[in-house]
Amino acid sequence: MTSLINRLCRGLILSTLLAFYNTAFAAAMDMRPGVTDISQRILQIHHYSLAICVVMGVLVFGTMFYSMYAHRRSKHPKPADFHESMLAEIVWTAVPFLILIGLAIPATSALREIEDNSNADLTVLITSSQWKWHYQYLDADFGYYSNMSTPTEQINNLETKSKNYILEVDNALVLPTSKKVRFLTTSDDVIHSWWVPDFAVKQDAIPGYINEAWTRIEVPGLFRGQCAELCGKDHAYMPIEVEVLPEEEFDQWILDQLLAIELASGQAVADRAKTWTLAELMDIGQTVFIDNCATCHEADGSGQGSTYPALAGGEIPTGDMSTHIERVMDGAVDTEMQAWAPQLSDLELASVITYERNAFGNDLGDIVQPLTIFESR
């Protein structure tokens, strides 16, 4: 009777533990299967090697624990005195060696396939810089930046965190299903690493190098990843979002983008023609500043020590206008202050510089027009 109760109790405890695991933890304990043939093969290799390790572990640790139990002094007072066996040494050298060969075979064949970057249907050049990605569609000849879109209020615990906290971006990379997509990765500053677990693609983006990787995604959907190489302050805030569309929708998306680019260049001409008021520029400038500049210089322009100079009362934002324009457009060499000219439009640059000269108590009253920016390009 007591043993039955014992068994019941044990069963109960075990099943609560299991349930706990399943609800609280199961979501994130194992490698994700992903959505490509390669990611699933890698999962198999992972499970296979894990299983071998577990079996070996059970055997070795089991023997140890048995020995600790059976050969403790109180039970086994007189130690044996063997201490060498050629046969044993040969066996436990050879058997692991054979097991390793068994592991190396599937790993080798998967690796050969992963490294075969030939015959791609589509190529995307991924250029990293602190702390964003740029995607260039080489076949359609256009590209854009992709920035994290999680607001700083969520990071600083002032707002509740959204479901995809720090994994969401303004412009996702868009890819088609069922096509072999080749990625070329490189970097404008330090080393970053482009990683989307569901594709099992992790490729370093290294300045001066162009690395290759590829994927073929079978199902449409949204997939997320992160930068996987320490790249400075905001390494944690450099997410990747990939939207995978069925083929026809993807083709349509490309056409839409090309059209949008044409419209934008028309818009740029119109922006240049117009003379903007201080209020208009300040308004746009604030948004541009928060999205691009505030992570280092802080929203109130106070900067961070000597690493990220303060703009409030700063030498350049309150000094000569052309030096200021130059610094924002070309950046400062070898620092995290990057060149913004290729990243922002004339209007955005004009308004953010105007903003810096008038916000944070700088109050110079200066106005920079998009035309001035256009002419200094």
Partner 1 sequence: MAVTADHAIPNRSPLIAFLSRWLLTTNHKEIGTLYLWLSFTLFFIAGAMAMVIRLELFQPGIQFAEPLFYNQMVTMHGLIMVFGVVMPGFVGLANWLLPMMIGAPDMALPRLNNFSFWILPFAFTLLISSLFMEGGAPNFGWTFYAPLSTTYGPPSTDFFILGVHLMGISSVLGAINIIVTIFNLRVEGMTLMKMPLFVWTWLITAFLLVMVMPVLAGAVTMMLTDRHFGTSFFSAVGGGDPVLFQHVFWFFGHPEVYILILPGFGIASQIIPTFARKKLFGYHSMVYATVSIAILSFLVWGHHMFTTGMPLAAELFVMYATMLIAVPTGVKVFNWVATMWRGSMTFETPMLFAIGFVILFTIGGFSGLMLALVPADFQYHDTFFVVAHFHYVLYPGAIFGIMSAVYYWLPKWTGNMYDERLGKLHFWTAIVAVNMTFFPMHFLGLAGMPRRIVDYSLQFADFNMVASIGAGMLGLTQVLFLYIVIKTIRGGDKATSRVWESAEGLEWTIPSPAPLHTFSAPPQFPIPEEAYQHD
Residues 116 to 155 in contact with partner 1, rule: CB under 8 A: 154-155
Q: Site residues for partner 1, window 181-220 (CB under 8 A)?
A: 189-191, 193, 195, 197, 200-204, 206-209, 211-212
List all residues 6 or more positions away from 40 whose beta carbon is below 8 Å from its beta carbon: 33, 34
Number of residues that bind partner 1 (CB under 8 A): 101
**Cβ-contact 200, 34 below 8 angstroms:** yes
Tell me which residues in 219-258 interact with partner 1 (CB under 8 A).
225-237
What is the rounded CA–CA span in Å between residue 334 and residue 186?
17
Q: Are 181 and 122 in contact (CB under 8 A)?
A: yes
Measure the CA–CA gap between 312 and 310, rounded to whole angstroms: 6
Q: Per CB under 8 A, which region of 99-107, 264-272, 347-355, 363-371 contacts partner 1?
A: 99-107
Is the Cβ of residue 129 or residue 369 nearer to partner 1 in the bound state?
129
DSSP state of 236: G
User: Among 1, 156, 275, 377, which residue interacts with partner 1 (rule: CB under 8 A)?
Assistant: 156
111 binds partner 1 per the rule CB under 8 A: yes
Question: Residue 109 or 323: which CB sits closer to partner 1?
Answer: 109
Q: Which of the residues 19 through 58 are near partner 1 (CB under 8 A)?
A: 24-25, 27-32, 38-39, 41-42, 45-46, 49-50, 53, 56-57
List the one residue out of 185, 195, 182 whose CA is nearest residue 229.
Answer: 195
CB of 260 to partner 1, least distance (A): 30
Angle, helix 86-114 to helix 37-70, in steps of 10 degrees = 160
> In terms of CB distance, is 99 or 264 closer to partner 1?
99
Which residue stretch of 81-89, 240-248, 269-277, 344-352 sits at the interface with partner 1 (rule: CB under 8 A)? 81-89
Q: What is the nearest approach in angstroms of partner 1 to the Cβ of residue 3?
A: 29
CB of 280 to partner 1, least distance (A): 34
H/E run at residue 253: helix 247-273
Site for partner 1 in 271-300 (CB under 8 A): none
Residue 263, judged by CB atoms within 10 A of its CB (0-12, 13-18, 19+), counts as: exposed
Beta carbon nearer to partner 1, 114 or 125: 114
Beta-strand relationship, 132-137 and 221-227: unpaired
Residues 301-330 that bind partner 1 (CB under 8 A): 304-307
Q: Which residue has the tokens 């396939």?
A: 113
